[in-house]
Structure 1
Amino acid sequence: MKKLHLLLFACLIFTATAFAQSKDEKDVTAAVEFMRKAMVDGNRADLTKLAADDLSYGHSSGKIQNKAEFVEAIASGASDFVTIDLTEQTVKVVGTTAIVRHKLSAQTNDGGKPGSTVLGIMLIFQKQKGQWLLLARQAYKLPTP
């Protein structure tokens, strides 16, 4: 009976360890949430803060933006996210690089025209001077439900 309890305890510890996020994974997850909120709010200062100077921001249409273009499009309202919901997110940290994948469902109001989109997203964050910054993003279209 004692061995069974030890075995169960070991399984619980292993399971908890296997599913626990590292500090870097938690920090990257927080950076993604900061980005989501900044994009909905259109907050120029926050958008500037989260993006690396060498940002390559790819849209599902094939359009690529640099940092200044990305920030301006969101902050000016040309690309207006009313809501952004992220699901099925995974975070993989390798050294000072993090790969984030998720499904993005959004309500938009680009140019005053309401719309919705469902996209697959891959984000690359890089740790620079202790902060996780968005270095690259690529979106691809998913079928709408």
Structure 2
Amino acid sequence: MIKKLLLTFSFLAVSMLLAQKNNDQQTVDEASEKLRLAMISGDKTVLESLILPELTYGHSGGHIDDAKEFVEKLVSKKSNFLTIENTNQSIQIVDKTAIVRNHLFAQTHDFGKEQGEVSLDILYVWQKTKNGWKLLARQAVKAEKKK
């Protein structure tokens, strides 16, 4: 009888952990989509709600923005995304950290520059907080342009 109870308890515990991990993956995916839309719109309130103050945002050219610079560039349209398409996304949850990788293809029209395109492979690091998943770090590398 005790073996059956232990087996049932173990099964329930594993099931609950798997359900939580799936829920976290879905929630991170939703936060990633909110970030994509906010980067296009330049909505300061939404952008600030999705990032941690300690954010480091690495560009493919080597420059690293802090949280304030990241938001300001998008709000001012110094960094202006007309479209962003994320593909081949994977999400890995490790405790309270999510590692998200995807390919980003975007049309841009940064302030004072001609319209252009970027094709990047991106690594995002999200951290689970009491207020949901927040972006802690991002690093981009140049990829082949999408055809």
Q: Alignment partner of 1:110: what SS?
A: coil
Aligned residue number for residue 15 of structure 1 = none
Structure 2 counterpart of 1:47: 47
Q: CA deviation at 1:130?
A: 4.1
Superposition deviation, residue 128 in structure 1 = 1.1
SS in 1 for 2:118: strand
Segments of structure 1 that go 5 or more residues without pairing to the other structure are 1-17
Whole-angstrom CA distance in 2 between matches of 1:84 and 1:128 = 26
Q: Is residue 139 of structure 2 the alignment partner of residue 144 of structure 1? A: no
- Runs of 5+ consecutive residues of structure 2 not aligned to the other structure: 1-17
1:21-100 equivalent positions in 2, closer than 5 A: 22-100=22-100
* Alignment deviations for residues 66-123 of structure 1 (CA, whole Å, 9 cap, x no partner): 1000000001100000000000000000110000000000000012420001000000
| Pair 1:115 & 2:102 matched | no
SS in 2 for 1:71: helix
Identity %: 43
Matched residues in 1 for 2:42 and 2:83: separation? 11
Instruction: Look up the equivalent residue of 2:117 and give its one-letter code.
Output: S
Task: Quote the Cα distance in structure 1 between the aligned partners of 2:131 and 2:78.
Answer: 32
Which residue does 2:12 correspond to in 1? none
Q: TM-score, normalised by structure 2?
A: 0.83
Q: CA RMSD in A?
A: 1.3
| Alignment TM-score, normalising by the size of structure 1 | 0.84
